[in-house]
Structure 1
Amino acid sequence: MQQDLFKPFKIKDLELKNRIVMSPMCMYSVEKKDGIATDWHYVHYVTRAIGGAGFIMIEMTDVEPDGRISDFDLGLWSDDHIPALKKIVEGIHAQGAKVGIQIAHAGRKAEDAELPVAPSAIPFDENSKIPRELTTKEVKEMVEKFRLAVRRAVKAGFDTIEIHGAHGYLIHQFHSPLTNKRTDEYGKDFTKFGREIIKASKEEMPSGMPLLMRISAKEYVDGGYDIDGSIRFAKEYQEAGVDMFDISSGGEGQIAAWGRPGTHAAYQAPLARKIKEALNVPVIAVGRLEDAILANAIIGNEEADLIAVGRGMLRNPYWALEASKQLRKEAIIPKQYEDGFRH
């Protein structure tokens, strides 16, 4: 059957009304530096659910205070974070959408940490702090911090969990030859850290809840891995328990997540397709996909299973509803807004 952006999608017990994902994007909007979501976060996310997105992914949420990019990022290192997140989950569910949360640690890219940590003592760039290399014991303790964050996310009512293994953050740092120069077990096996986090996460999640993982499928820098390298490590993560991959790129060396060659629409879609085909696994495509016709074509051509829209939804919370009108597809228009979509 021909698929399109507005056909339902199911993976394990997660059922989505359409194929449109609000991509996780850091908002840097925590008010008291305590990592607790605010009313602003509630309005921000629930508005996109009202706007028709079938699947909302909450921004990078960190497993310890010094694991944040900045002190204004969300956290899940304490039970104190659960109530505000639960309120957001319930608000999104009330609008007929499903919601996941991206669990992460920034590693050497933790800008506000007094002393960031990393697999090896290599700074991100000449303007960054030199991180402290984690001891083997601390790496194992970090796995448990991820476990506890996932446990809290489940308590908050999220429909799924996404582990952040992309964009040069801690898990990415462990599986990249650019940043992992360790001599212990986590240096001899680049995916061991990520696999242990996946295993711990699955142990905390209901059996029917899918585990997602965002990866950078290519690093675009000398000495980094390419698509063949990411296919190899993604297979290991899949065997460890990942049910679906969210395919981005970049983030290591001095390449930012938005860096080259992301200058044209759908520049990462071919990477998503290659991962999908090589692993026979569902994937999310992301990266300059705010053109509804293009996004719909990627689904129709079976290059990806879901489409994540980031900046397009920052500009327009009702992107999904506008897309349904442009593509002449049926979508549930909130009755309060029906007059705006009649003509």
Structure 2
Amino acid sequence: MTHSVTDSASQSTANATNRDSPANPATDSSAYSRLLQPITVGKKRFRNRAIMGSMHTGLEDDPADAPKLAAYFAERARGGAAAVVTGGYSPNQLGVLSPFAHPFNNDDMVHAHKQVTAAVHEHDSLAFLQLLHAGRYAFHMESVSASATQAPISPFPSRALSDEEVAQTVQDFAHSAKLAAEAGYDGVQIMGSEGYLINQFLSSRTNQRDDRWGQQRSLFALEIARAVRAAVPDDFLVDFRMSMLELVEEGQTQTEILELARGLEEAGVDMLSTGIGWHEAQVPTVITSVPRAAFSWATARVKEHVNIPVVSSNRINTPEVAEQVLAGTWDDTGVETDFVSMARPWLADPEFINRVQSGNARQINHCIACNQSCLDHVFENKRATCLVNPRAGYETELTLQPINGGNTGADEIPGSSGNAAPKAAVIGGGVAGLFGAEALAKRGYSVEVFEAADTVGGQFRLAMQIPGKEEFHYSLKSVLTRLDAHNVKITTSTPMTANEAFAAGFDEVVIATGVRPRIPEIPGIEQAMAGEFNVDVITYAELLSGAKQAGKKVAIAGAGGIGFDVAEYLVEAPADAGADGTAGTADTTTADITAEPQSATIGEWESAWGVSRRADLPGNLERPHPPRAQRKITMLQRKPSPQGLGLNRTTGWVHRISVAAAGVKQVSGVAYTKIDNDGLHLNVPVNDATKTSKAIRKAQKAGDKEKVAELEDDLKNNRTDTVLDVDTIVLCTGQESVIEADFESLTEDQRSRVHVIGGADVAAELDAARAIRQAVELAAELKR
């Protein structure tokens, strides 16, 4: 099949869009002429170049969830997605991701999915079903692969498929594709990347067969492509998501990848989508520290060798980046691509393209690539949603109905039915307060936010100072733009109480005053914080805001998420001492939110993680050169276990690798004795606590009670005192809620109209996802 451009904009106009375009990308949709340009592939017309990429949601596993899945995709189709791609469905029972998932191989699935395709087509979008055989990534005891191997991220060994089973699997893919067409899908996407079964056949890492499927490792992929093409109608599209960059040892070379791409084109594939890395790769590919569109060069390289459309993906989360990737001006590739695929950005904002078309690109609810509520949920068998948009995945359950009647769209401002809008005071301008204010305004409340500090943003403003977390800046910037569009007034440098809010005429009061760092009880800590010792004791908030600075020898008390953030901040912050022996960054407390943050370039990131562009290098991996700390940093933890075990599942490993590679010393099992002029006094285990705790777990699994008792006694009693020579101690020892309200003086009716959310409600962890969800749920539930 062929593809053609069908809109009135000339190809040369689209090609001219680059970083120097005179159009204002914030308000002028002409700045995105290529992104918004229709294209026809085969007999299917895509209304623009933005595809909602595949992402497992947790709604795929049970056909009974089809109505929820339909609502989920319909909202993105209504928001402008040219096409949506479902999460992965296996063509047979062996390939399901989990034991309770349903393969797409029966009439019941066809019937259920007709709801999904009808909902998408209603909004002039195309629908693709992704066919994914998990192979050795299947989380059940019947996992199979090209050879008998075990994935490092799975507890289950896999067996090798027989020759007959491989051939049958090819036919299973074809059968599922035929059923997808019957269900009303416009095409299928064959998952051939990310380390799933097809990818396992392609790589010598997992394919050690000596039969035809091993002698020609690409045969399995090519046979599936041919069989699927033959099984479906001519107007049905076949998209193959191929691994364009492996990032694992013994992975495919770029030369092999290009050969496969040409073979897939000859086999009748209509489009090639980009897959990057295996799930077991020790190189991050999607988290916030990965530069935007860091892998567009790999897609561009494939595009140069085929004559069918290609789809670029990974860390494309703004229309500006998308436009430049399509035009070939991002990362100076000089090669145009045909589509961009974004998955998580569509979770964050289902109105992504509509905002671009209407000249409101600055209002896009920004995906911060945190993985906290999407991918982490998937790997924990929870429903995927979004930290900055808790309605994602819950479209039928979490709705913001206008309080004065009417039927509004996802982000319209409800009109009044004649009654005066009720007034809501939001006390606290952190993320819970800001996103809660937006949700209230969407329902039709007249909202004012009161913030005691001179800036809003709360913990997000601190987080955006962490290297690799610059995306938080854009999220804060976009929510403020949307609040302005909703006429939400923000008053800073103004402490407010519930009493004062009611006296000012507000009907509802939302307390979102957040948290403050908790100060642990350590002898000498108060004197140190008062400047009486040679050792400075500061909080993480003081450090990240720029209010206080760190010296050249730093102890981080606490090794949770904030501790790791602080460690990474200190690794890259300059350590050139000033006259007072300290160093740090400029004060960011009053920093202009419109200022652009500085982040690592693609080249710097590739060097740090050992990513090569050489065509002949298996997996495109070389020796990494991570940044080294310019100061002496020691992370301390009371628990004897290895540090960072409680970090988020899909991102924690990246932080653990980064901190260790930077040369940060980690000490677990500590007890804080005191602080004085000599430094930080500790009582620590004589033997390495983390090794001992690992040995305890091993003995527990083996049922060796005597060994467990012996090791636990060693941790408890075989200890010694030591003094850590430091000039700065940064406290990352938890938080406590900030509530300055006098609830006792309120009437019973007033107390019923005071609502406490976010960190002000629960300060156990800094959990922005919980805080924002709580804020939006509150806004949805208010009955005024």
Specify if TM > 0.5: yes
Report the CA distance between 1:183 and its aligned residue. 1.0
Output the amino acid matched with 1:78: N
Bigger radius of gyration, 1 or 2?
2
Question: What residue number does 1:83 align with?
Answer: 111
Report the CA distance between 1:303 and its aligned residue. 2.7
Q: Is the 8 A contact 1:37 1:81 kept in 2?
A: no
Gaps of 5+ in 2: 1-10, 15-33, 329-334, 362-406, 414-481, 486-784
The answer as to 2:21 corresponding to 1:17 is: no
Q: Is the 8 A contact 1:219 1:252 kept in 2?
A: no
Q: Is the 8 A contact 1:275 1:281 kept in 2?
A: no
The answer as to 2:344 corresponding to 1:317 is: no
Within 5 A, what are the aligned runs for 1:264-283?
A: 264-283=291-310
Q: 1:135 aligns with which of 153, 156, 162?
A: 162
Q: Is the 8 A contact 1:220 1:250 kept in 2?
A: yes
Output the amino acid matched with 1:168: G
Report the CA distance between 1:170 and its aligned residue. 0.7
* Identity of matched residues, %: 25
Question: What residue number does 2:252 align with?
Answer: 225
After superposition, the Cα gap between the structure-2 partners of 1:314 and 1:252, relative to the gap in structure 1 and judged at 3 Å, is closer
The 1-side partners of 2:242 and 2:282 are apart by 15
Report the CA distance between 1:71 and its aligned residue. 3.9
Question: What residue number does 1:250 align with?
Answer: 277
The 2-side partners of 1:312 and 1:56 are apart by 13
The answer as to 2:237 corresponding to 1:207 is: no
The answer as to 2:151 corresponding to 1:121 is: no
Q: Is the 8 A contact 2:300 2:337 kept in 1?
A: yes
The 1-side partners of 2:57 and 2:100 are apart by 8
More moved, 131-140 vs 239-248: 239-248
Gaps of 5+ in 1: 329-334
The 2-side partners of 1:283 and 1:327 are apart by 28
Secondary structure of residue in 1 paired with 2:142 = coil
The 2-side partners of 1:327 and 1:304 are apart by 25
The 2-side partners of 1:128 and 1:146 are apart by 26
The 1-side partners of 2:154 and 2:141 are apart by 14
Alignment RMSD: 2.4
More moved, 118-127 vs 12-21: 118-127
Q: Is the 8 A contact 1:35 1:71 kept in 2?
A: no
After superposition, the Cα gap between the structure-2 partners of 1:15 and 1:336, relative to the gap in structure 1 and judged at 3 Å, is farther
The 1-side partners of 2:58 and 2:183 are apart by 21
Secondary structure of residue in 1 paired with 2:305 = helix
After superposition, the Cα gap between the structure-2 partners of 1:327 and 1:241, relative to the gap in structure 1 and judged at 3 Å, is farther
Q: 1:294 aligns with which of 304, 321, 336?
A: 321
Output the amino acid matched with 1:147: A
Report the CA distance between 1:157 and its aligned residue. 1.2
The answer as to 2:112 corresponding to 1:95 is: no
More moved, 68-77 vs 305-314: 68-77
Q: Is the 8 A contact 2:276 2:314 kept in 1?
A: no
Report the CA distance between 1:106 and its aligned residue. 0.4
Question: What residue number does 2:193 align with?
Answer: 166
- Could you report, residue by residue, the CA deviation over 1:198-240 in whole angstroms, capped at 9, with x for unpaired residues? 1111111111323110011111122212322211112112211
The answer as to 2:81 corresponding to 1:53 is: yes
The 2-side partners of 1:133 and 1:35 are apart by 30
Report the CA distance between 1:261 and its aligned residue. 11
Output the amino acid matched with 1:249: I
Q: Which has the higher contact order (CA 8 A, sep 6+)?
A: 1
Q: Is the 8 A contact 2:247 2:283 kept in 1?
A: no
More moved, 56-65 vs 176-185: 56-65
| TM-score after normalising by structure 2 | 0.41
Report the CA distance between 1:326 and its aligned residue. 4.5
Q: Is the 8 A contact 2:90 2:104 kept in 1?
A: yes
After superposition, the Cα gap between the structure-2 partners of 1:126 and 1:320, relative to the gap in structure 1 and judged at 3 Å, is closer
- Could you report, residue by residue, the CA deviation over 1:276-318 in whole angstroms, capped at 9, with x for unpaired residues? 1122331011111111111012223353111111111111111
The 2-side partners of 1:262 and 1:268 are apart by 14
After superposition, the Cα gap between the structure-2 partners of 1:44 and 1:339, relative to the gap in structure 1 and judged at 3 Å, is closer
Report the CA distance between 1:136 and its aligned residue. 0.3
| TM-score after normalising by structure 1 | 0.90
The 2-side partners of 1:306 and 1:73 are apart by 30
Output the amino acid matched with 1:21: I
The 2-side partners of 1:310 and 1:254 are apart by 20
Q: How many residues align?
A: 333
Question: What residue number does 1:332 align with?
Answer: none
Question: What residue number does 1:153 align with?
Answer: 180
The 1-side partners of 2:178 and 2:274 are apart by 25
More moved, 69-78 vs 162-171: 69-78
Secondary structure of residue in 2 paired with 1:288 = coil
Report the CA distance between 1:22 and its aligned residue. 0.4
